[in-house]
Structure 1
Amino acid sequence: MGDRTHTPTGAAARALTADRPAAIRNVVLVGHSGSGKTTLVEALAQTTGAVNRAGRVEDGTTVSDHDDVEQRGHRSVSLTLVPVTWGGIKINLLDTPGYADFVGELRAGLRAADAALFVVSAAQEAEAVDGTTRAVWEECAAVGMPRAIVVTHLDTARTPFDAMTRVCAELFGGDDPDAVLPLYLPVHGPRSADGHAPLTGLTGLLTQRILDYSGGERREHPPAASEQDRLTEARDRLIEGIIAECEDETLMDRYLAGEPVDVKTLVDDLERALARGTFHPVLTAAPAAEGARQGLGTVELLDLITGGFPTPLERPLPAVSTLHGATLPALECDPDGPLAAEVVKTSPDPYVGRLSLVRVFSGTLRPDDTVHLFGHGLDDPAREARPFHEAEIRVGALSSPFGKQQRPLTACVAGDLACVARLDTAETGDTLSDPAHPLLLRPWATPDPLLPLAIEAHGKADEDKLSHALARLVAEDPTLRLEQNPDTRQVVLWCIGEAHRDVALDRLRTRHGVQVDAVPHRVALRETFAAPAGGLGRHVKQSGGHGQYAVCAIDVEPLPAGSGIEFVDRIVGGSVPRQYISSVEKGVRAQAARGVATGHPLVDVRVTLRDGKAHSVDSSDAAFQTAGALALREAAHAARIQLLEPVAEIGVLVPDDYVGPVMSDLSGRRGRVTGTEQTAPGRTLVRAEVPELEIGRYAVDLRSLTHGTGRFDRAYARHAPLPPHLADRLTSSPEADAKHA
């Protein structure tokens, strides 16, 4: 931001070990898919000298290449760490996916970072800032995380830089658009015959110097006289924005009175406001031209990161508790303090097995240390989906990733990140601590996966490996939820969206060698009697030797929803011996679990045993169980069976502009809106009850309906009668016939 000297080349640029938290910056890059995050990371790495002028590391790969980085349409779907150094400061750049489906990777990056760069593309116009990006900005604002904005693709821009800064101020500035202002203005070269004006440099608003990149290296010179008016107007607005955030309340009065403010004071105030999360500068950057070492704007961006973004010492650490949930005193980012580290990502490695990316919040982690690994507290409500586990394990080698390389580290101090080998039982989100003082870091929030994927093993060999593969898959990705549905007997992977689903299937096949077939997801329906009925179960067989004899008569009547199966004994005179009453009940309940008409469990009925017959020799427990089941089926033939469908309570949080379309869409899904409430300025929560048959793809449809700005949660409410025309369609379909055969 000011005039600084930079000599980042050679071995010093590759020294990726930090010895103190003050020499570390952890920065996460956030932005829409295609905004240029990965290209920006590579440009920063080239400017720091971490890669050569061709953008390659020693093995010929780029810094964004990694064994665990899968691609969909040449876009990363995985969190990637790229460490570089600048001016003696280690910068951990965390490149996150831009797809909304992989918000779990994005949240892991936010957890590991202390500041955020929001990357927006001038070539994407209205799509430059999607709903997910705006939601992440609001989350960062809520916790005071420092943020800056980088505009990319100005060389191919559909929207000029001035218009992009106005868009950023409107979307990110909230009630204070003057807190989002540019630090530099782009300089364009002569316009060509096709109307294109190449980007050649930047004008520093505080220093009033042209930073010229047209020759391949950064050069400085004064601005042209013709640019002075435009420069002065933008500079005055920037100075006023910086002073408005200054802690010295007299500075604004002195400035308005005409007292000059020196550049150093402005830079210092800017950096303090940025570190507090109250001012958000807008910069631009572009990759280096062919043969050039420095990308346009990358030096300025690196200066901002090292000078304005906070060190790990300046950011609050996650809350900690005992293994049983009791709150502990807040940790400090002290290399000599108690060890508290967290696994923010796990991925397979062909050479060392599972590789864990770890953020150390307190203490120092060293190779061969013994640590206490703990995941999912004893009182964690998510234990059913992700069981509690703990172990004392030995840490393997520490390394710093760089492309496909893993560069060895001797230690990882508080505030730094490292890859740890051979943490084979570790899952994403697990805590590593001192065995003498075990603790648990409060987990970060992850979205609830709401798109079901029912799968079956393709063959016998796959069936044998499927369970282990699914366990590994879910351990690596906390936004996947595995369900073994006892009602439908399906294995269901709950995903964030369709792209997330496709990647999960691909990982099962490529990482774990398991072929699976996606099958239609079945909703757990129920049956009940629509009216009273009676049934007679007669099980009489004599085929030589000991025979079978049992007869029972029952009455069945419907009960209110939620009553389950009620069995009543009305036998008088011993027509059914006492020892066989429970046998009849077992047979009735077993048949109810199997269903009596469509194969779905029978619920909410009272079954009354009123009469029967027994034989002194041939009656048995098994015979009366069979008779009880036959009697219930006989009663079902004499009555109308009502199908019940599960109904979910859902809450849909959307911008006010989409409330009408969302409510209309819910009505079309047989939903009943139960209320709305304002949760924040411009945001409304729509509450409704909707049949689960209608919301199997709602996670995808809502994203399309609200352009990625809406989200919802769901919870089971009850089972309710299924309309007859839908019941007839379900029971007459070939799939239903095959299911209930």
Structure 2
Amino acid sequence: MSYNTENIRNIALTGHAGAGKTSLFEALLHAGGVIQAQGSVEKGTTQSDTDSQEKARGHSIDSAIASVPYGGSHINLIDTAGYTDFRGPTLSSFAAAETIAVVVNAINGIEYGTRRMLERAAQRRLARVIVVNKIDFEGAKLGALVDALREEFGTQCLPVNLPCLGGKHVLDCFFHDKGTTDFSSLAEAHQRILDQVVEINEAVMGHYLDSGEGDLSPQELHDAFEQCLREGHLIPICFISARTGAGVKEFLELAERLLPNPAEGNPPPFVNGEGERITVNADPAQHVIADVFKIVNDPFVGKLGVFRVWQGTIRRDTQLYIDDNKKPFKVGHLFRLRGKTHEEIERAIPGDIAAIAKVEEIHFDAVLHDSHDEDSIRLSPMQFPQPMFGLALEPKHKGQEQKLSQALARLSEEDPCFRMEHHKELNETVVRGLSDLHLKVMLERMKERYGVEVTTHPPRIAYRETIAGHAEGHHRHKKQTGGAGQFGEVFLRVEPLDRGAGFEFVDAVKGGVIPGQFLPAIEKGVRQALETGAVAGFPIQDLRVTVYDGKYHPVDSKEVAFVSAGKKAFLDAVGKARPIVLEPIVDVEVAIPEASVGDVTGGLAGKRARILGTDSLRGGELVIKAQAPLAELTDYPTELKAMTGGRGRYSLDLSHYEPVPPPVQKQLTEAWKPHVEDD
């Protein structure tokens, strides 16, 4: 290994689908001498899109990692999916990078994914770079695009290079190349970015004003530039053509000379067991701290945990712990990734991205460490969108139930937005994802990898129950069957809590009328009822239960008696407390052609949706923002496709829960009655 932490750059390529991230990934690997020729997305020969689903669909589904040696730097690149359907692996990669490069299609301009990724990077306090790709394509209006970027995202968006010769070449305007550009003045662009950079640091500003820019050292410029990126005071705009290579080496030079290394980026959001922020140093001599941001179940090497080292040095044969697990594991093999290729390495230093294989206990977001002093350390979790689309499924062939469960568990490990649930009361397995396409791809992947085929049908919507009033409940459980009997009596009250508050259990028993050892049994009975529901068979939330009185028998009272008494007293109280059914309300964003706006807004209004507003996109598109009940959107993918001629795109994120209309509650309650009667 011929580099240290100061030489490392970690960059995630993100942006809207079709911006050319994978082609840029190939161009950067080629420019760095990692590959002899650029692969093609159309031909399925790229380093990153190696999955059969990616090749068949012509776009990324998962993230891919490769490193590029350039000059004196070791640049780790992460190629991510652009489609919102596959945001899980994309957002996971943010935990490993200092810089997010948002790739923009020069023809289409600012798109939905452009906004989303820049917002997410800002929330994570990561350095941001806008990469305008396809600058040599006919119809690219680059000057207008720069104006649009500055208007949309702020005047801190400034070009650091400019295209010339019709996008066939670029000229650096930070280090002041000479020449004529396709638009703007190189000297003016240079002055604008220099003024932006020096104003962040008073010492550099003073030196600049006193002596002029010619006296600013490269180190002063680097430090001020890096501070601008760290504080969001500058978002560089880079012009590139992945097709011709124009601007590709210039981007690598920018990464080497000016982008933050792992010691310069904003401190990672690590917290201890009490939720307090703690400092992690990019020091190779300290205890090891690494975060697992990606899991791959590789058919050849087994389970692969991909991690970013934040502190310390991991070597082969190192003994590491996972989270607070007291049992260590030995690092038998340590890998560097290049797409599907694994290169064995001797050690990984702070800032490195590496992988270990065949450690079954490893999981997404695990913290690896070599000292129990780090047991409680966690990286603040990324806020992932809630998977709201569901499919109930069962194996197509009998006897594959166990195989199905194992396959779904493997897929869930790889994508934090793909989840599996098993509903005991209906004996129903449900998978949830971000869209119908997301679920379709995952089930096709399961068939290819694990040989499991399934039949599917719509699942029940994830309704919830709660109460709107206060009430008291009581139940006496008494059972005598010869010999010792069962006895337990419980009085309790219920009261509503704020939406999202969850559940509270309060012990207000006085005088020992119920011995303390039976309180956990009462809570267990209450929690059983919380899971199965009281009026429509859905989990109950957002209420407080207070046990205040009861009776016991010194001989006949047993745990099982108080479990039953607690459950039935709770159901008695909920039935009197104006129970209500809550439905999930989702934030809907729909990107459509302007010509379809009437049909789409009318369609949403017919689904009890509230239209919140619209945003205009370049190229005659609109984004409609709304909130709607999830239950109304079951067939929305098909409807949107019909209304927009296949040009509409949408995303859903869980917003909140609110009461269903009375007719819907009545319908749900009536549907649940047969289950109650069968109990």
Superposition TM-score, scaled by structure 1 size:
0.65
Q: 2:290 aligns with which of 316, 341, 347?
A: 341
Give how far 1:718 is off.
5.7
- For residues 24-39 of structure 1, the aligned pairs below 5 Å read 24-39=8-23
Other-structure match for 1:187 = 164
Question: Which of 254, 257, 260 is 1:310 aligned to?
Answer: 260
Which residue identity lines up with residue 254 of structure 2 in the other structure? L
SS in 1 for 2:129: strand
Does residue 426 of structure 1 match 2:362? yes
CA distance in 1, matches of 2:103, 2:271: 35
| Correspondence for 1:722 | 663
Give the aligned partner of residue 50 of structure 1: 34
Q: Give the Å deviation of 1:407.
A: 1.1
Alignment partners' CA distance in 2, 1:92 and 1:463: 40
Aligned pairs for 1:432-443 (under 5 A) are: 432-439=368-375, 440-442=377-379, 443=381
Counterpart in the other structure of 1:298: 248
Alignment-derived partner of residue 611 in structure 1: none
Contact 1:46 1:55 in 2 (8 A): no
Alignment of 1:387-398 (within 5 A): 391-398=327-334
Equivalent in the alignment of 1:223: 179
8 Å contact from structure 2 (residues 586, 656) kept in 1: no
CA distance in 2, matches of 1:183, 1:272: 16
* Counterpart position of 1:550: none
1:2-43 per-position Cα deviation (integer Å, ceiling 9, x unaligned)? xxxxxxxxxxxxxxx465211211011111111011111111
Match for residue 582 of structure 2?
A: 647
Contact 2:15 2:82 in 1 (8 A): yes
Pair 1:319–1:154, CA change in 2 (3 A): closer
Amino acid aligned to 1:441: R
Aligned-residue offset at 1:313? 0.9
Partner of 1:150: 131
Partner of 2:48: 64
Aligned to 1:241: 196
8 A Cα contact 1:151 1:283, kept in partner: yes
Equivalent residues in 2 for 1:10-25 (5 A)? Answer: 17=1, 19-25=3-9
- Which sits farther off after the overlay, 63-72 or 397-406? 63-72
* One-letter code aligned to 1:82: A
User: Structure 1 277/85 Cα, relative in aligned 2: closer, same or farther at 3 Å?
Assistant: farther
Given candidates 286, 305, 313, the residue that maps to 1:356 is 305
Structure 2 residue 201 is the aligned partner of structure 1 residue 201: no
Q: Which residue of structure 2 aligns with residue 416 of structure 1? A: 352
User: Cα gap change, 1:485/1:672 in structure 2, threshold over 3 Å: closer, same or farther?
Assistant: farther
Structure 2: distance between partners of 1:87 and 1:349: 33
Under a length normalisation based on structure 2, what TM-score does the superposition of the two structures give? 0.70
Residue in 2 aligned with 1:530? none
Task: Report SS of the residue matched to 2:416.
Answer: coil
Of 233, 238, 243 in structure 2, the residue corresponding to residue 283 of structure 1 is 238
Q: Give yes or no for contact 1:112–1:359 (8 Å, CA) kept in 2.
A: yes
**Distance in 1 of aligned mates of 2:234 and 2:450:** 46
Q: Is the 8 A contact 1:18 1:24 kept in 2?
A: no
Paired letter, 1:352: V
Code of the aligned partner of 1:421:
A
Change in Cα spacing, 1:723 to 1:81, as seen in structure 2 (3 Å) is closer
Give 1:427's aligned amino acid: H
Give the distance between the partners of 1:230 and 1:370, measured in 2 at CA: 57
Q: CA offset at residue 694 of structure 1?
A: 2.5
Aligned residue type for 2:421: E
1:663 CA drift (Å): 9.7
Cα distance change of structure 1 residues 666 and 251 upon mapping to structure 2, 3 Å threshold: farther
- Alpha-carbon distance in 2 for matches of 1:487, 1:240: 65
Cα-to-partner distance string for 1:335-389 (whole Å, 9 max, x where unaligned)? 11111111111112222111121111111112232211138xxxxxxxxxxxxx7
Change (3 A) 1:650 1:333: same
What's the offset of the Cα at 1:714? 4.7
> 2:420 & 2:287 partners in 1: Cα distance?
34
1:317 Cα deviation after fit: 4.1
Please tell me the root mean square deviation across aligned C-alpha atoms, in Å. 4.8
> CA offsets per residue over residues 84-123 of structure 1, 9 Å max, x none?
1111210000111101111111111111001111110112
Partner residue, 1:402? 338
Query: Cα 1:599–1:50, aligned 2, differ >3 Å: closer, same or farther?
Result: closer
SS of the residue 1:51 aligns to: coil
CA contact (8 A) 1:524 1:645 kept: no
The one-letter code matched in structure 2 to 1:448 is Q
Letter in 2 for 1:101: D
**Aligned residue number for residue 564 of structure 2:** none
Q: Alpha-carbon deviation of 1:692?
A: 5.6
2 CA distance for matches of 1:49 and 1:718?
59
Aligned partners of 1:144, 1:599: CA distance in 2, in Å?
A: 44
Q: Deviations over 1:267-306 (max 9, x none)?
A: 54445533543212211122365xxxxx211121111111
Cα distance in 2 between the residues matched to 1:505 and 1:602: 27
- Cα distance change on mapping 1:100 and 1:252 into 2, 3 Å: same
Distance 1:474 1:561 in 2: 39
CA distance in 2, matches of 1:448, 1:404: 29
Match of 1:505 in 2: 443
Shift of 1:728: 13
Of 106, 114, 119 in structure 2, the residue corresponding to residue 122 of structure 1 is 106
Post-superposition CA distance 1:480-534 (Å, at most 9, x none): 222212344321111111221112212221222211111122247899xxxxxxx
Partner residue of 1:41 out of 1, 6, 25: 25
Aligned equivalent of 2:654, options 697, 713, 725: 713
SS at match of 2:452: coil
What is the Cα deviation at residue 468 of structure 1? 1.6
Match of 2:90 in 1: 106
Identity among equivalent pairs (%): 28
Partner secondary structure for residue 237 of structure 2:
strand
Give per-residue Cα distances to partners, 1:121-164, cap 9 Å, x unaligned. 112x2xx3333431321232244321111111122142322122
Q: Secondary structure at the match of 2:285?
A: coil
1:245-644 equivalence runs, <5 A: 245-247=200-202, 248-250=204-206, 261=214, 267-268=221-222, 269-287=224-242, 289=244, 295-321=245-271, 325=274, 327=276, 329-374=278-323, 391-439=327-375, 440-442=377-379, 443-523=381-461
Output the CA distance in 2 between the equivalents of 1:18 and 1:309: 20
CA contact (8 A) 2:320 2:368 kept: yes
The offset of 1:165, in angstroms, is 1.4
Instruction: Report the secondary structure of 1:491's partner residue.
Output: strand
Deviation of 1:328 after TM superposition, in Å, equals 7.0
3-state secondary structure, aligned to 1:148 = strand
SS for the counterpart of 2:385 is coil
Partner of 2:152 in structure 1?
Answer: 171
- Give the aligned length: 562
Query: Which structure has the larger Rg?
Result: 1
The code of the aligned residue for 1:203 comes to L
Assess if the C-alpha contact under 8 Å between 1:183 and 1:204 holds in 2: yes
Give the direction of change, closer, same or farther, for the CA distance of 1:96–1:390 in structure 2 (3 Å limit).
farther
Query: Residue 564 and residue 424 in structure 1: after superposition, are their counterparts in 2 closer, same or farther (change >3 A)?
Result: farther
Q: Which runs of 5+ in 1 are unaligned?
A: 1-16, 189-197, 210-221, 290-294, 376-388, 528-558, 570-578, 583-591, 604-643, 677-684
Q: Distance in 2 between matches of 1:494 and 1:672?
A: 24
Q: Say if 1:367 and 1:410, in contact at 8 Å, map to a contact too.
A: yes
* Cα 1:113/1:466, change in 2 over 3 Å: same
Amino acid at match of 2:48: S
Q: Which amino acid is the alignment partner of residue 143 of structure 2?
A: D
Change (3 A) 1:477 1:701: farther
Alpha-carbon spacing, 1:333–1:580, altered in 2? closer, same or farther (3 Å)? closer
Mapped pair 1:133 → 2:114? yes
